[in-house]
């Protein structure tokens, strides 16, 4: 058997449903280290104290995986074919179906098994938004796209409605080159649309002002000064992606696990207000929405009430 090269790896990734696969050399992210340190020093992480942990591992994958030589970046589309009805409380599109951590991690593990079967003994780890990995930086290094003003990784062919995942391993491959150009140009649609002014100059996101932060990460009471600014978002927020011109190229995913239960798209404001813990578990037991817990979702709904 011929050892798997970069092209064969990308073919296997495509067969598993990944929209993109790119590979970059594992090295220290010196420029990202400076930006991250400044971001943390300015307190933009809010109550997300975990962002302050494992700084050295965040900026150098070789400290996360011993002997790491490559960072394999993969993209998995989650753009839905149908969305919630207008005039109801909204959840972010990524949470419509089953929890992406589970779905994408399973695909990632399958790919890693194929790599090891071809290349022999290897050291590596699979990551899906659950470890100190600067995934958007690695996605840029792998040629997946560029970092938009809203901090999201944007791909010319697909927009930004996709999950990022990585395999960091001690194998060498032919490496991809980053995209040199920033195709956002002079567009400020995301900045103009953000109701809490969380998007700041220099592609910096003030996490402590983001609607997703308030509705998911924050465990305390939502600050009163945010009242009336959430535009009916009760779990996450898609505003900066919905207004991005590049997302006109988004195409509906083909992942059955991401299909929402019909009831979720049909729930009215009244239904959400009447939601009890039993129904919450039935609807969101396998969804990322469970992260905020029933009590957290009810808090968010009550905050949105006039």
Q: Give the separation between CA 59 and CA 31, rounded to whole angstroms.
A: 9
Q: Which two tokens stand for residue 69?
A: 């030589």
β-strand pairing of 199-200 with 204-205: antiparallel
Instruction: State the catalytic residue, choosing from 129, 170, 232, 242.
Output: 129
Active-site annotation holds for 129: yes
> Degrees (nearest 5) of the Cα angle 41, 46, 207?
90
CA–CA distances in Å: residue 232 to residues 46, 211, 304: 22, 10, 6
Q: Residue 137: which residues within 8 A CB-CB, separation 6 or more?
A: 29, 32, 147
Which residue matches tokens 């990944």? 18
Beta pairing partners, 22? 73
* Alpha helices, DSSP H, located in the chain: 6-15, 30-41, 55-59, 100-119, 135-141, 189-193, 211-212, 239-242, 262-266, 269-273, 277-284, 293-304
Which pairs count as long-range contacts for 34-41, CB under 8 Å and 24+ apart, including other chains? 35/204, 36/134, 39/204
Could you list the active site residues?
Answer: 129
């Amino acid at each position: 058997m011929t050892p798997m090269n970069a092209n064969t790896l990308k073919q296997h990734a495509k067969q598993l449903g990944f929209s993109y696969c790119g590979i970059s050399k594992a090295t220290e992210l010196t420029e990202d280290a400076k930006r991250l340190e400044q971001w943390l020093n300015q307190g933009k992480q809010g109550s997300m104290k975990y962002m302050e942990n494992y700084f050295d591992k965040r900026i150098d994958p070789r400290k996360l995986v011993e002997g790491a030589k490559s960072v394999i970046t993969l993209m998995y589309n989650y753009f839905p074919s149908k969305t919630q009805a207008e005039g109801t409380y909204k959840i972010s599109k990524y949470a419509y179906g089953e929890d992406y951590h589970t779905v994408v991690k399973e695909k990632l593990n399958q790919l890693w098994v194929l790599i090891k079967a071809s290349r022999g003994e290897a050291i590596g780890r699979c990551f899906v938004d659950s470890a100190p990995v600067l995934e958007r930086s690695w996605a840029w290094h792998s040629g997946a796209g560029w970092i938009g003003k809203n901090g999201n990784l944007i791909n010319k062919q697909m927009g930004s409605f996709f999950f990022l995942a990585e395999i960091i391993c001690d194998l060498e491959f032919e490496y991809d080159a980053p995209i040199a150009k920033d195709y956002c140009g002079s567009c400020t649609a995301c900045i103009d649309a953000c109701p809490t002014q969380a998007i700041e100059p220099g592609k910096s996101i003030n996490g402590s002002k983001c609607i997703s932060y308030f509705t998911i990460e924050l465990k305390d009471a939502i600050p009163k000064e945010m009242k009336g600014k959430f535009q009916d978002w009760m779990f996450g927020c898609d505003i900066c992606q919905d207004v991005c011109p590049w997302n006109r190229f988004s195409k509906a995913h083909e992942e059955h696990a991401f299909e929402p239960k019909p009831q979720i798209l049909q729930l009215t404001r009244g239904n959400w207000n009447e939601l009890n813990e039993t129904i919450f578990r039935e609807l969101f037991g396998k969804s990322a929405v469970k992260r905020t817990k029933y009590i957290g979702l009810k808090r968010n709904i009550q905050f949105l009430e006039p």
